[in-house]
A and B are shown apart, each in its own frame.
Chain A
Amino acid sequence: MPITRRLVAAGLPALMAALPSLAHAKSAPAFIAVDVDGKTRSLSEFKGRVVVLEWVNEGCPYVRKHYSGNMQGLQQAARADGVIWLSVASSAPGKQGYFPDGAVAKAWMDAKGAKPTTLLLDPQGVVATAYKAKTTPHMFVIDRDGQIVYEGAIDDTPSAKVEDIKTAKNYVAAALNDVKAGRKVAVAYSQPYGCSVKYKDA
């Protein structure tokens, strides 16, 4: 018995030290989805990489605001740093932002000059439900250990006006910088803004 007690006593500080980080971390839910090329993609294939999830609805004015160049720029910069960028289209059939097939999605991406690693087609809203995605855009940054280190709005200025981008603080860029520098992400959560994700029972 005394040995057990001593072991527990010795283990406690280590456990306590581990706790704070555990308390705030949130594991990114696993998912499987088909991308624009018809390939089955999963989060697990990007193990060890930093991953950005971006909920997209091409018809949503807030998405359009950021696709005036802001989103594409972020995508390019992130991918140059080795980040995996997955755009997710979760609009249900018949709803705004629904892509009937990969070709239609690709045509939109080409027209916008979007540069994500790929775009996932999620018409059943399975990935959206797993992440409780609420708005378009809704952004998630997942670190190399598979923890969600940022979730929320793309920036701190909820508006549909392009001119607001200049003065806004971009939370995703900041989170990616923090991850790159090995720092704790300063703003780990914000209330997302934009159109609601067009779930199929909505």
Chain B
Amino acid sequence: MGALTQRELAPGSDQNQGVWRFSDILADPEIKNRWEKVRQYFFLRESTYDMTNRCNIRCEGCYFYEGDKQFVSENSDLNAWRALMAREKERGITYTVLAGAEPSLVPDRCRVCYQVIPWGAIATNGLKRIPGDVDYQVHISVWGNDATSLRVRNAEHMLERQIANYKGDPRAVFVYTFTRENIQEVHEVMDMLSQNGCRVTFNMFSAPVGYDGPLRHDAESLHHTRRTAMELLERYPEEGLFSHYNIAAHTQPQGLHALYGCSYPRMNASTAVGLGRSFRQYRADLTWDRNAACCVPDTDCEDCRHYAAGSAIVTARLFRHATDPETFKAWLDYVDTYLAVWVRGYEKGKNLLDHLVMPPGHDFSPPDSHTAVRL
């Protein structure tokens, strides 16, 4: 497309017919302030690290225990971990995500990572507290109430123990993963977490390759999750770390790749700039494989609606959302949420939008067409 005429550049009274200039979108002080707030964190460049092959529980549908990564020989040499982090820092990585299988079992390795790269997050089941001097954000996975956790994760009194470990801990963000089976019970879990002052974001179960079990979402459960998440957003404006656009982006019949184009190396051949160039997913033996590299390896890409994936994929599509004020507000809400979830000390602002906006280029799926209206 070539040069636009002045008429095309000028925002018309009907924004669907006009083309908005970025500077005109930013002329709204509310948008401008949020843009200036979030863009300060554009320096964050992530990679992820499996810290160990061990875990203290076995969950149904766990992505870690799929594929080859679980079988590598674990590197327990702290000097090797320190050297890896130094190399990562040298090549521009500013943010670590410590994940599989259960990082809390190897706190010394987590500490080494934190000492070299001070921005990061740890994904944990929360049953063993990570020492406070490892000052990363801590994401505690919640898959339902205690009865469901016992059935799906084989752990007793899970929520109670998670809260006991992380109540009042400013690092903690509880991550409720909606599966096909646990949507309704989120209300009792949210009540319990909010009563204990815990912050909560939500995740969508994203099936590992080959998984066709009862946790996998279908059209009905996606719709149900959407309605439920919208209720939660109204009911828990303080504790709930998400926005309408998070809900819209993660509850579509299409996964994130179909909606936005996944930017992780596993699905992105380009090494020119961005995640395709910089992102690595290290296994516990400190090796990595570009063909497998994404934040949740061995997830079925068609079914991926994972919150961690979205944080990178949706955020990276800045350009597609800078089309009009409403779409840009949706993107800003999403990025503001992602930063509050992932960055220590970042305070989430009030969401700019109070209604659903669809990902650019997509319409509401028919069963949800009524949700397009303002709440």
Binding partners A and B: no
